[in-house]
Every structure is written in C-alpha cells, then in structure tokens.
Chains A and B, each alone.
Chain A
Amino acid sequence: MTVRYEFDVVVGESQVLIKLSEDLVPVLRTNTAALAASIDYAQPKRGLLDRRRFDRTQRALLCRLFPSASDFAPLAQEFDVRWGQHLRTELFAAANRVLASIGDDGSVSYPLDAVDDWIRVLGQTRMLWVHRTITGDPMSEDVRVRSAGVYTWMQQRLISALRPELAEVVRA
C-alpha cells in the first residue's frame, strides 16, 4: 500500500509523537472538525431546509458511528437513552482534543495515556464518507473510498507503533 502522505509515529515513555506531512495537516484538521461538527447537537443551524438537510445527514452519520446495540428495537432504544449521549459526547471531546493537538508544521505531541483519542477519531472519521461495510482504499479513484482508506492507513500506522507485538500476532 503506497500513500503519498507521511504519518510517522514515535512512542515515548509518556508521550506519543506524530509527524504528519504538511499536506496532511489541512486534511486532518478539516475532516476532524467535520466529524466534531456533525456530532455537535449545539451547533447553530440556519434555515429550515438547511436544518432538515443537516438533521438527515447527522442521523445517517450517527447510525454509522454508533449502530444499534440490539436487534430488538425497544432494547436498542433503551441502550441509546443510557449510553447514546455519553458516546457522542466522548467522541466529540476526543475530536476536539485531537484537533487542538495538530501543530501547523504537522508535529503532534500527545499524552500516551490519552492516545485512545487518536485511535478512535481516526477510525470514526471514516464514517463521514462510507458505509460501515465499505472497505477504504487509499489508492481508490473514488474520493470517498480513498479518504476512508487514508484514515484506515493512519490508524493502522498508529496501532502498529503502539503495539508492534499485536500487529505481528494478528498477521501470523
């Protein structure tokens, strides 16, 4: 797999250092902000048509991000009542922390004990473009599939750096 971007990860004792190529910085910023905006119920909405369009888009995205936890609709609804807002709030906060950590030069220094933020945001941002069953491919000519594939690739790079032993056993 060849990706034109750079996403290099160094794991320290208490910090994770990530170096992004400069052309990846605006991509990550834009898409992470889009993810945060999409799950932010409080964001200002304009006209009725815009609101309806946004609500429909938001509902579809939320279904991809957090699919039903039960095949029995009443139980799924109860789960959403108990956990839905918590899950959305957590992802929203993680997206904003990731966004704030991206330096203009592509350097990121992130606490190791909070690096789950990055793992989650990289994985979930893919849902902006594709259904859960569609495999991302960074070499695809379809921009949506390609975008998702780049995020899969970054998440894989991060996990491989954090847990090289795991990447090996899974591949074996």
Chain B
Amino acid sequence: MEPAARLDKNHQLSVKELPYIIRWSSDRCKRCGSCTAVCPVKAIEPAVKVKRTVKSEGAVPTPTAARQVVHVVEQVTDIERSCVGCATCALVCPNDAIEPELNPQNKFLHYRNRGGDAYKRGGRRNDPSLSVLDRLKFTRISMLTDPALDAGRHEFRVRTLLGRILSPDSLPIHTVDGRLVVDKQEIFIPPVREIYPIMIGSMSIGALSPPMWEGLAMGVTYLNEVEGLPVVMCSGEGGLPSRLLRSRFLKYFIIQIASGYFGWDEIIHSLPHMIEDPAAIEIKYGQGAKPGDGGLLMAQKVMKLISEIRGVPQQIDLASPPTHQTQYSIEESALKMLQSMSMAWGFRVPVYPKISGTNTARAVLNNLARNPYAAALSIDGEDGGTGAAYNVSLDKMGHPIASNIRDCYLDLVRQGKHNEFPLIASGGVGKRGNLAANAAALIMLGASAVSIGKYIMQAAADCLGNEHNRCNLCNTGKCPRGITTQDPKLYRRLDPDKVAERVVDVFRAADAELKKIFAPLGRSTELPIGMSDALSIEDKAIAERLEINYVC
C-alpha cells in the first residue's frame, strides 16, 4: 500500500519543531519584501494564498462566500532553512510586522543532521545559565580601618606584564657605587611587554570581515596612541596584510601561528622589512570552543583578499589540522616552536602557547614553566567562541575557565613561579556583558590578563548571537551584521569607523569599571593578580574548589 505520508505531510516538520517561530502580522505588513530579501537563511518567503472570505452586505444578512488571492510572508519548515532568530527581518521591517520568537520546545537538534551531516555552526556554547565568573563577588571592601581609594581621583595602574619574568634570584643586577646596574651578558633577559590586562583575542582576517577587522585594529591603535591604554589584539590564524606587517602599528598586534600556518609565508617575507616588533607571538594548540579541533575557514569566506594574505587559492575550504603535524610531544613543541619563533625576531618578542581548557592544563603548564622561552600560557575555557565548529564540540567539549586558571595559578604558587609565568584566561569573559567584573574575577583567581572575542563582536559591532543559538551563522559567511563574512554585499553594512569608536568606548568604560572594583578593594598600584581573599561566592562547593570565601 502506498504510504499516505505525502498527502498528510507526515514527514514534514511543523514550525513547532523549529527553534524560532516567526510572528508575522498581516494587517501591519505592507508587503515590501524587505524581510524576505534580508533573511540570511531564507527562513521566510513570500507566498500567495487563496483565502475564502464570507461577506454580508445590505440590510438583510446575505452571506456570500468569495475567494481572494492574498500575499503573505510564510515561514518555511525545511530544517536547513529554519529561522535562526537573528531578527534581521524585524530590523528592516518598516511597520514592526514581523519578529522571531524563541521556541523553548523545539526539537531542532533531533533533525539538524540531514544527510548524515552533523550540525556545524559558529558562535558560542549554548548555555544561558549563569557562569561561575558571573557569580563571583568582590567582598573585601576597605572600610574605615583602611581608607578606600577614590576611583576618580587616585592614580591607578591597570597594567599587566606579558612575557617571561626572571626570578629575583636570577636577576643580572649588581650594585656599583650604591646604584644597580644590569649585566646583559650574564643571562638571557626575556622580552616583557607592559600591556592592558584585557586583550582582544585571536580572531582572524578571514573569520572576520575586512571592515570588522579594520575597525578593531583602528580602535586598538586609537586606544594606544590617544587614550594611553596599551591594548593589544591577536591576529588569529591567517596572518596580517603585508602593509600592516611593515607598519609602525605592528607593535599593537600579537601574531598567531596555528597548525595550518596560514599567512606565515607573507609574515616571513615581511620580516626583513618590519620596522616594529609585534607585541607577541601566540602559538595556537587549542581553542576553548572546540577542543581537539583544528581551524576551519569555509570556502565561501575565502575571497580574494583572504587568499592573498594566506597564500592560497580562492574558494576552497581552509582546514587547519587539530595538532601541529611536526610535533609529537610537548618537548618538541617547546623546543621547535617556542625557540624558532623567538629566534625569528631575535629573542625580542614574547612567544607563548594557547591551549583549550582541559584537565591536563597543569601538565602543560609545568612543562612550559621549566622552559625559559615560554613567555606565558593562554588558556581558553569552554565558553570561548569560534567561527566554525561542530555543535557537539561547542556545547559539550571543553573545561570551564575558572577552576582551570585557578588550578594552574596555585600550581605556580606552590613552585614560587606565579610571578614569573603569566597566565592568560579567556572563554566567557563578558558573557553577560560584565566585562570588567569577569576580567577582575579571573585576575584575582590568578590570571595576569584576559582575552575577549565574542564580547567585543557584540559590543562593538552588534553581533546578534547569544546562548539560545541565535544567529550563530559565522561559519556560513552570511553574517547579517557583516562581521563574519567576506561577501561585500553583507560587510558593506558594517562601518569600520563605528566599530572603532565602539572599541574605544568599551575599553574606556571597562577601565573605569575596573577602577571602581579595585578602589574599594584598596588596590591601585599593581594589578591584584591572585588576590583571592577579595573574592567570594554563595556556593560552598565552588568556594572550596576555588579556595575562596563562601558567603551567604
């Protein structure tokens, strides 16, 4: 017997299965077509329907049925085109006639694997719960027995050190006529940068659109040269434009090398022409959002500019392997990568690895702490973001940053090396908009600096993503804001000057907020790294785990 599925639409999904349901108001809609044109996933389309209406005109009821052709906006139920909730339709609608609504009962993940193709997306972990970072409070308040500092009047030094710091016992310092002098021949003095403790983390040209990357770079330059805030940003994997590599602005950038080595042909060729050293070199071994995965830039984002910078053909998938293929052990990593990168810049540039948060972070740390060329360790927690990854990696893989950074810091304390080896924390900083508070909490848990990614995309360029899987189209090249796309039709929506302005706003505001946190704690002269006696949480288990105060 022939199944009746086709007739009763039994194998089709209803909108109830989809993560977002479009609420469209016929009487407000003027049928301009803006929403259907702008939808990045074509989740809505114009449709023509035949409508039966009953009319009764005249003194005596004389109902008459009539058929009428109407134009509607209809949500498609194809899982590949399901609404992502970005609300770009609502943004362009002149009459507020349309908007998506989150459907908490959706069964999206049950179906988003058609053709055996596991669901891939960009963005962040879809976990809207309150993170530990957001639950931490600052409870050591200076009151009466010691005067609290004034965030608006006193001098605050919100700076950190990036680079390997010599132990006091190994300082090549001697007293000559009562004055200290340095003997540079005595020992290798590692390069150390004094930077702002909030960095912009690794997001590549390629993952980001040209105006987005340009906006960030302009903002960072302004912060350094006008505001006096030494903020640095990391290139991500994929190199830098050769004009930037040969400019005086290179000192504000950390260049990343990852397992695909994309962009390094151009970097190496530019080396003799560099007039400034980069802020640092980051060797990416892992990413918090997708531990164990390599990088991925989908073919649709590999346009002319990207192909030139990375030295690859256009329109091909650029996959970096999960591991650096030339290395089979951490000794190899340390020897080959750290030393060769250090050597390339005459040992004048700090070189540090970035790993994803993991139970094994302490093993990595303890190996690196013994290597004089390892300038720091950057640990990216599970709440980190990515341009493209498997959903399962994003949602289920990774380690929370708070306990990971704490464990590592306390390990260093036990070895007496906590000042010598900086830890950089990232992954979930500013997840709920509390940039300064999250950064301060991580610093007090032991981080020397924090890195941000998603937060700056949201704050500076209005990225639509959230922890309810909203938008998260970064991997498709169809970013409706023009942030993570190489399509000129999309990225021309983004004004790099506005992005730069917002970057400056964000850091100035964060700087003011950090001072508002540090002032009542009585800290102003040095960053309160590891000042965990100022931290508390209303959860005994977490307090015990992080070795901080429990309050209630």
Q: Do A and B come from one complex?
A: no
Q: Which residues on A are within 8 Å of B, measured CB to CB?
A: none
